Structure 1
Amino acid sequence: MEAWLRALTFSTGYNTSLVTLGAMLLGASAGMIGSFILLRKRSLVSDAISHATLPGLAVAFIVMALLTGDGRWLPGLLAGAGISAALGLWGVQGISERTRLGEDAAIGAVLSVLFGLGVVLITVIQVMHTGGQAGLTGYLVGATAGMLAAEAHLIGLCGLLLLVAIFMLRRQFLLVCFDAEYAYTNGIQAQRIDMLMLLLLLAVTVIGLKVTGLILIVALTIIPPVTGRFWTDRPLHMVAIAAICGALAGYLGVTLSSVHTGLPTGPLVVLSAFGLFALSLLFSPRRGIVAMLSAHYRFKTKVHLRQGLLALARREAIYDALTLRVLRRHGYIRRDHVPTPSGKAAARDADHEEQLWSLYRSLYPDEAAHLDHLGLEPIGNCLPPDTVTTLESCLPLSPRVAS
Structure 2
Amino acid sequence: METWWHALTFSLGYNTSVVTLGSMLLAAAAGMVGTFVLLRKRALVSDAISHSTLPGLALAFILVGLVTGDGRLLPALLLGAAASAALGLWAVQAISARTRLGEDAAIGAVLSTFFAFGVVLITVIQSMRVTGQSGLTGYLVGATAGMLASEAQLIAACALGLLAAVLVMRRDFLMVCFDADFARTQGVNTWRVDLLLLMLLMAVVVVGMKVTGLILIVALTIIPPVAARFWTDQPMAMVALAALLGALSGYLGVTLSSVSEGLPTGPLIVLCAFGLFLASFLFSPRRGVLASLLAYRRFRQRVHLRQGLLALGRDEPIFDGLTLSLLRRRGYIRRDGVATPPGQAAARDAEHEERLWALYRERYPDDALHREHAGLTPIAQVLSADAIMALEAQLMGLREMRP
TM-score bracket, normalised by the shorter chain, equals over 0.9
Distance in 2, matches of 1:250 and 1:350, equals 55
Deviates more, 1:59-68 or 1:233-242: 59-68
Q: How does 1:336-375 map to 2 (within 5 A)?
A: 336-375=336-375
Distance 1:96 1:372 in 2: 41
Conserved 8 A contact 2:19-2:145: no
CA change 1:260–1:78 in 2 (3 A) is: farther
CA distance in 2, matches of 1:290, 1:305: 22
Is the 2:18–2:148 contact (alpha carbons within 8 Å) kept by the matching residues of 1?
A: no
Range with greater deviation from structure 2 (35-44 or 261-270) = 261-270
Superposed displacement of residue 169, structure 1: 2.0
Contact map agreement 2:40 2:177 (CA 8 A) in 1: yes
Report if aligned partners of 1:28, 1:163 keep a CA contact under 8 Å in 2.
no
Which letter maps to 2:92?
V
Of 363-372 and 24-33, deviating more is 363-372
Q: Which residue of 2 is the match for residue 8 of structure 1?
A: 8
Comparing 162-171 and 356-365, the one that deviates more: 162-171
In the TM superposition, 1:145-164 aligns within 5 A as 145-164=145-164
Structure 1 residue 210 displacement after superposition: 0.6
Greater mean alpha carbon deviation, residues 16-25 or residues 127-136: 127-136
Residues 108-117 or 123-132, more deviating = 123-132
TM-aligned CA deviation for residue 361 of structure 1: 1.8
| Cα RMSD, aligned residues only | 1.7
| Structure 2 spans left out of the alignment, 5+ residues | none
With over 3 angstroms needed to count, the CA separation of the structure-2 counterparts of 1:113 and 1:79, relative to structure 1, is same
- Name the SS for the 1:335 alignment partner: coil
Partner of 1:270: 270
The Cα of 1:366 is off from its aligned counterpart by: 1.9
Unpaired runs of at least 5, structure 1:
none
User: Partners in 1 of 2:86 and 2:280 — Cα distance?
Assistant: 34
Q: Are 1:228 and 2:235 matched, yes or no?
A: no
User: Which deviations, in whole Å up to 9, do the C-alpha atoms of 1:335-391 show, x marking residues without a partner?
Assistant: 222211111111110111111111222222222222213211111211222221122
Shift of 1:157: 2.6
Match in the other structure for 1:125: 125
Aligned to 2:74: 74
Describe the superposition over 1:246-305 as per-residue Cα deviations: whole angstroms up to 9, x where unpaired.
111111112222333422222111111111100000111110001111110110010111
Write out aligned runs for 1:320-339 (5 A).
320-339=320-339
Residue 216 of structure 1, CA deviation = 1.0
The aligned residue for residue 285 of structure 1 is 285
Question: Where does residue 97 of structure 2 map in the other structure?
Answer: 97
Where in structure 1 do 4 or more consecutive aligned residues deviate above 4 Å? Answer: 396-399
Q: Which moved more, 1:253-262 or 1:379-388?
A: 253-262
Q: Identify the residue that residue 140 of structure 2 maps to in structure 1.
A: 140
2:64 match: 64
Distance 1:148 1:378 in 2: 64
In structure 2, C-alpha distance between the alignment counterparts of 1:27 and 1:350, rounded to whole Å: 54
* C-alpha spacing 1:125/1:258, structure 2 compared with 1 (3 Å): farther
Task: Report what 2:382 is aligned to.
Answer: 382
Distance 2:142 2:352 in 1: 67
The answer to whether the 8 A contact 2:356-2:391 is kept is: yes
Instruction: Give the length in aligned residue pairs.
Output: 399
State which drifts further: 374-383 or 214-223: 374-383
Q: Which residue of 1 aligns with 2:36?
A: 36
Name the structure 2 match of 1:179.
Answer: 179
Aligned ranges for residues 172-251 of structure 1 at < 5 Å? Answer: 172-251=172-251
Deviation at residue 185 of structure 1 after TM alignment: 4.2
Greater shift after overlay, 154-163 or 218-227? 154-163
How far is the alpha carbon of 1:172 from its aligned partner?
A: 1.9
Question: What is the alpha-carbon distance in structure 1 between the residues aligned to residue 123 and residue 243 of structure 2?
Answer: 37
**CA contact 2:356–2:392 (8 Å) conserved in 1:** yes
Deviation at 1:329, TM superposition (A): 1.4
1:315 partnered with 2:345? no
Deviation at 1:398?
Answer: 11
Q: State how far apart, in whole Å, the 2-side matches of 1:226 and 1:301 are.
A: 32
Secondary structure (helix, strand or coil) at the match of 2:145 reads coil
Q: Could you tell me how far 1:119 is from its partner in structure 2?
A: 0.6
SS in 1 for 2:146: coil
2 CA distance for matches of 1:98 and 1:397? 68
Which residue pairs with 2:84 in the alignment? 84
Q: Distance in 2 between matches of 1:109 and 1:11?
A: 47
Contact 1:27–1:249 (CA under 8 A) maintained in structure 2: yes
Q: Structure 1 stretch 65-74 or stretch 155-164: which is displaced more? A: 155-164
TM-score, scaled to structure 1: 0.95
Looking at structure 2, the residues matched to 262 and 131 of structure 1 have their Cα atoms a distance apart, in angstroms, of 24
Give the corresponding residue for 1:109: 109
Q: CA offsets per residue over residues 192-217 of structure 1, 9 Å max, x none?
A: 11110000000000000011110011
CA distance in 2, matches of 1:73, 1:254: 25
% same residue: 68
Distance 1:152 1:87 in 2: 27
TM-score, length of structure 2 as denominator length = 0.95
Does structure 1 retain, via aligned residues, the 8 Å contact 2:144–2:266? no
Contact 2:27 2:246 in 1 (8 A): yes
1:169 and 1:17 map into 2 onto residues whose CA distance is 32
Contact 1:22-1:159 at 8 Å conserved across structures: no
Distance 1:329 1:398 in 2: 36
Look up the equivalent residue of 1:157 and give its one-letter code: A
